[in-house]
Chain A
Amino acid sequence: MTNKYYEFFCPVKVIAGKAALEHIPYELTGLAAKRPMIITDKGVRAAGLLDPVIAACEESGLEIVSIYDDVPPDSSTTVVRDIAAVYRKEKCDSIIAVGGGSAIDTGKAVNILVSEGGDDIARYTGAGVLKHPLKPFFVVPTTAGTGSEVTSVAVITDEKKGVKLPFTSSFLLPNAAIIDPRMTLTLPPHITAATGMDALTHAVEAFTCMAKNPLSDAYATAAIKKISQSLLAVMDNPKDQDGRLELAQASTMAGIAFSNSMVGLVHSLGHATGAICHLPHGLCMSLYLPYVLEFNLESIRESLGELLLYLEGPEVYSATPASRRAEASISAIRKLRDALHKRCELPRTLKETGKVLETQLEAIARQALDDGSIMFNPREVTLEDALSVLRRAWA
């Protein structure tokens, strides 16, 4: 009898494609919500990305009661408390988060406060604290990378204590994720590249780490195929709506995959690098992915070899001997990074970022060892192992 066991859960309704935003009023009405609040950041508003969301709602007679557009890149407990106060004052009954990871996490945290009560979000930190469904919550991602629209986690900084508070509950999952190509059409090239690599890393780690399972595998491979086929096309033609939609869908699919099978050492190193050197998350993923795959190679040879089909297509896959497919998959990822570097100078090494000192590598390695995602890496990682990956990624 097999010893294998897995769990898979994703109740988020995905509303994707042309004119997807126009489905928001109908979907909100279906949840008896009439007074939505939008949570977003100044960049999203300045880019005019709120306009189609508001227009879609107004045309159906649904008034956006309040807009909070001051979510910072690292959202805090104070911001969450302030937004919850506005929500209550304006008698809102639902939340639409429009933006990237920070706006979405903030939306999740605000939903906890306005549904459970109180002003202290720290009371709800940890796993399994929430016991009831929250208010109607929709997410409109404006980047194609984080996958936050389908994850049950939020991270908010407690600025007084200087710590990051994690919140984990299936009740944090939005009722619907609205994937509309208009929302990512104006993403600058370097953000398109970094977030694309973020989504690719989610999918590759979901497929190669310890909690992989048949359902998340299906989402991961589909995501990898879409990213391989569309990322460079979109870099060459940023107004390619079909390509943008493919990337946005891939990001959501990769999010579903990794939220059900977790990630590994790339994320451990990326989280540590982000905390110490303040590099964007997507860039960190791009920097470490090939080196971590090389480190894990002998433990993931078979699964990594399978990914060649989705990275390079059937011709290359069938022409590559089975024993060389894993290495060829790593080469394909390196080739993609080189192509992105050529198009937008997305750094390929820590040195190229210009923001990391060689003397910081040990601190990054030490912090990575305590990151939760390291538990799911297929190989045990010692300090020396982490350092050797970092040295390879240095230059």
Chain B
Amino acid sequence: MLLKRLQPMMFQARRNYVELMFQVMGRALQAISDVDEPTREEVRALPEGFLFEMQVMPNGPKLIVEHTGDGKLHFHGDTAPRPVDLSIQFKHMAHAFLVLSFQEKTSVAFANDRMLVDGDVSYAVRMTRVLNRLESFILPKLVAQRAVKEYPADIHLPEKLMSSARIYLKVATQFVETVRA
């Protein structure tokens, strides 16, 4: 009975968490494309002006980033300036929460049909690699190992600390700028 009464609050908390994670991830994607050359190398293969969206179906939270050229990503929040080129869509808020709370790896979520890809699959594979690299940098190794298929062997502790500090600093700066605006 109590659980049933608490359910709407739990759903709202879950939704808030997913929204917050999309905000952080969107800004972090922009930040990692500023600080990490391998990420830029991956993104360069996308056409300039390419819009990527992650969304919870049917009208849930979303994040939209654009490839602005030379491997740089720009976070657009949850509003796209034009129709997106690639959309990765979680079928339900519960599935997004599983992935964003690191209970289910992104690759496992794909294998479990939790997500749909609308657009060029090869770009989706590339963006998934970018997301994996981001998670490997910004999460503690023990948590990152729960989020990605394999923790990259080429990310060592000093590089991880330096890059994650720079990414978090940029994310914090963007949040402050958004609040001021």
> Which residues of A come within 8 Å of B, CB atoms?
3, 5-7, 126-128, 166, 209-211, 262, 369-372, 374-376, 379-380
Complexed CA–CA distance, A124 and B162 (Å)? 46
Output the residue of A127, A166, A209 with the most chain B CB within 10 A. A127
Contact A376 B148 (CB under 8 A): no
User: Distance (Å) between the CB of A32 and the closest chain B CB?
Assistant: 33
B152 contact set on A, CB distance < 8 A: 380
**Which residues B58-112 have CB closer than 8 A to chain A?**
103-104, 107-108, 110-112
A3-B103, A369-B125, A370-B125 known; A375-B118 Cβ under 8 A: no
B108 contact set on A, CB distance < 8 A: 210
User: Distance (Å) between the CB of B71 and the closest chain A CB?
Assistant: 16
Complexed CA–CA distance, A372 and B116 (Å)? 12
A166 contact set on B, CB distance < 8 A: 121
Whether a CB of chain A sits under 8 angstroms from the CB of B21 is no
B126 and chain A: residue at smallest CB distance = A370
A372 contact set on B, CB distance < 8 A: 117, 121-122, 124-125
Contact A126 B119 (CB under 8 A): yes
A379-B149, A379-B150 known; A210-B111 Cβ under 8 A: yes
A127-B118, A380-B148, A380-B149 known; A5-B112 Cβ under 8 A: yes
A369 and chain B: residue at smallest CB distance = B125
Determine the interface band of chain B, counting residues with CB < 8 A from chain A.
Answer: 20 to 34
A3-B103, A370-B125 known; A376-B150 Cβ under 8 A: no
Contact B111 A376 (CB under 8 A): yes
Complexed CA–CA distance, A165 and B117 (Å)? 14
B98 and chain A: residue at smallest CB distance = A3
> Which residues of B come within 8 Å of A, CB atoms?
45, 103-104, 107-108, 110-114, 116-119, 121-126, 128, 132, 148-150, 152
A380 contact set on B, CB distance < 8 A: 132, 148-150, 152
User: Distance (Å) between the CB of A330 and the closest chain B CB?
Assistant: 21
Complexed CA–CA distance, A9 and B132 (Å)? 30
Complexed CA–CA distance, A232 and B43 (Å)? 47
User: Distance (Å) between the CB of A364 and the closest chain B CB?
Assistant: 14
Contact B117 A211 (CB under 8 A): no
A6-B112, A375-B128, A380-B150 known; A210-B107 Cβ under 8 A: yes
Contact A374 B119 (CB under 8 A): no
Complexed CA–CA distance, A273 and B123 (Å)? 19
A375 contact set on B, CB distance < 8 A: 107, 110-111, 125, 128
Additional pairs, 14, CB under 8 Å, beyond known A211-B112, A371-B125, A376-B107: A5-B113, A5-B114, A6-B112, A127-B116, A166-B121, A210-B108, A210-B111, A211-B111, A370-B126, A375-B110, A375-B125, A375-B128, A380-B149, A380-B150
Across the A-B interface, the 10 shortest Cβ-Cβ residue pairs: A380-B150, A370-B122, A372-B121, A211-B111, A210-B111, A380-B149, A5-B112, A7-B113, A375-B110, A370-B125
Complexed CA–CA distance, A210 and B110 (Å)? 9
A369 contact set on B, CB distance < 8 A: 125
Q: Which residue from A6, A126, A262 sits with its C-beta under 8 Å from B118?
A: A126
Contact B116 A128 (CB under 8 A): yes
Complexed CA–CA distance, A43 and B104 (Å)? 48
B123 and chain A: residue at smallest CB distance = A370
A379 contact set on B, CB distance < 8 A: 149-150
Complexed CA–CA distance, A371 and B120 (Å)? 10
B112 and chain A: residue at smallest CB distance = A5
Complexed CA–CA distance, A209 and B119 (Å)? 23
Complexed CA–CA distance, A375 and B108 (Å)? 9
Contact B125 A374 (CB under 8 A): yes
User: Distance (Å) between the CB of B114 and the closest chain A CB?
Assistant: 8
Q: Which residue from B104, B107, B122 sits with its C-beta under 8 Å from A3?
A: B104
A374 contact set on B, CB distance < 8 A: 125
24 contacts between A and B (CB under 8 A): A3-B103, A5-B113, A6-B112, A6-B113, A126-B118, A126-B119, A127-B117, A209-B111, A210-B107, A210-B108, A211-B112, A370-B122, A370-B123, A370-B126, A371-B125, A372-B125, A374-B125, A375-B110, A375-B125, A376-B110, A379-B149, A379-B150, A380-B148, A380-B150
Complexed CA–CA distance, A7 and B91 (Å)? 13
User: Distance (Å) between the CB of B170 and the closest chain A CB?
Assistant: 26
Complexed CA–CA distance, A372 and B124 (Å)? 8
User: Distance (Å) between the CB of B135 and the closest chain A CB?
Assistant: 13
B104 contact set on A, CB distance < 8 A: 3
User: Distance (Å) between the CB of A68 and the closest chain B CB?
Assistant: 30
User: Distance (Å) between the CB of B45 and the closest chain A CB?
Assistant: 8
Complexed CA–CA distance, A372 and B148 (Å)? 17
B121 contact set on A, CB distance < 8 A: 166, 372
User: Distance (Å) between the CB of B112 and the closest chain A CB?
Assistant: 5
User: Distance (Å) between the CB of B52 and the closest chain A CB?
Assistant: 15
User: Distance (Å) between the CB of A9 and the closest chain B CB?
Assistant: 10
Complexed CA–CA distance, A6 and B121 (Å)? 21
